[in-house]
Amino acid sequence: MSALALWWSAFFVALVGGAVAVWALIIRERLKARLRCPNTTDLPLTPTSASEIPPGTPCPRCGYDLAGITSAVCPECGKPTEREA
């Protein structure tokens, strides 16, 4: 086998290995994000008015602190409160 053919074979193996590694990292990050932020769309935000939300109240979907928001939707994930839903 010539040196050029060997070089191309090694290059192809490295290219495929790199693509598989990148794909595995992307899948891993998506799974980690899903575990960090479970889909809990059935849980309502309480109380239902954005002006009544006390400090330290987290969004049930993403955990974002909803204190001081001016809308009835979580600015981080877009989960509406009962008033908006």
50 and 73 both lie in a single domain: yes
Closest CA to 80 of 34, 55, 48, 37: 48
Among 79, 73, 1, residue whose Cα is nearest residue 38: 79
Whether the full predicted model's pTM is greater than 0.85, yes or no, is: no
Question: What is the C-alpha to C-alpha distance for residues 74 and 55, in angstroms, rounded to an integer?
Answer: 14
Instruction: Looking at the structure, tell me whether residues 45 and 85 fall in a common domain.
Output: yes
Is the domain of 47 the same as that of 84? yes
**Residue showing tokens 């575990």:** 35
Domain that holds residue 12: 3-36
Check residue 11 and give its pLDDT.
Answer: 94
Question: From first to last of its 85 residues, what are the pLDDT tens digits of the chain?
Answer: 688 889 999 999 999 999 999 999 988 888 877 766 655 554 555 544 545 666 677 887 888 887 777 777 888 888 875 444 3
Residue owning tokens 């939300």 = 53
